Amino acid sequence: MTNSPADSAAASLAALRQNIDRIDESIHRLLMERGEIIENLIATKAKQGGGSAFRPGREAEMMRRLVQRHGGLLPLDTVESIWRIIIGTFTYVQANYAIHVDVSAGDAAMRDSARFHFGFSPPYVPHHGPHAVIDAVARSGGDLGLVRVVSAVGDGAWWSKLTEPTAPKVIARLPFVDRPDHPAGIPLYVVSKPLAEAAALDVQLFAVRIDRWNDALPAAVRACGGALVGNAANDYGLSLLLSFPGPSGVDNAVQALKAAGMDNVAPALVGSHAEPFSTQSANRNV
């Protein structure tokens, strides 16, 4: 007796569902195996005297490889979010941290960005303004802060709070996988206490104090491969936030200032981050 087409289709569906169940179980077992490796990592770090759980350079390289190998039906948005949650959660397991967020321009989009990039394990702590976020990170034992790259009117030169060597620093820029229709696409800086190692140095950020605006400065900065990210008035004149390619960004910053006739101005390093990885579309299969 031969099987009917309906019986054959049902058997095929059953086999496909069994394969899905097998893959789901394998994913779960691999995640548990990853957890066992993290336990060993924690123990090894403790023997070596500890160290930061945040490794922005390694994370950026992982995400580059993820995007480059991705293909098929699963949207890039989904696979990026899954991996971000895995990384953020296992980092949290290594060393509990909270995420301090500037919600002065609205909470919903900032909350989406925080949860997309770090998951739901780290506590979400809202603050009014970037200064409050930086202060909270400075007081913490190892928390992160999220501040907007494009400052709101009235924020002032928040980056001036990052100039002292022991002050918090920018360690990442989000989103790293950059595309116009990113579901969590607000440009953000991630701030933490200074990292002794594993910082991403593709782009370096510098605070510059000047008495008054210099019309020659923007062109000089661009000629040295840099960008004027922010500027704000303060008690002594202006504070600028400049970015230059790393890891020798300070040389380019000094060169740009000299080209603008500002030999006596010294740039202060306030952080660095990986160069964002661009794609053509959120739905691109790579």
Return the CATH number of the domain spanning residue range 204-272: 3.30.70
Instruction: Enumerate the domain spans of the chain.
Output: 1-50, 52-199, 204-272
Cβ count near 243 (within 10 Å): 25
Q: Identify residue 267 by its one-letter amino acid code.
A: P
Q: How confident is the model at residue 41, as a pLDDT?
A: 84
Mean pLDDT of the chain: 88
What are the tens digits of pLDDT across the range 155-167? 889 999 999 999 9
What are the tens digits of pLDDT across the range 107-160? 999 999 999 999 999 999 999 999 999 999 999 989 999 999 987 667 889 999
Q: List the single range of 119-123, 231-235, 236-240 with lowest mean pLDDT.
A: 231-235
Q: How many angstroms from the chain centroid is the CA of residue 134?
A: 16
- Per-residue pLDDT averaged across 51-77, rounded? 87
How far is Cα 240 from Cα 236, in angstroms, rounded to an integer?
A: 12
What are the tens digits of pLDDT across the range 242-267? 999 988 899 999 999 999 998 888 99
Higher-pLDDT residue of 4, 187: 187
Read off the pTM: 0.88
How far is Cα 38 from Cα 120, in angstroms, rounded to an integer?
A: 19
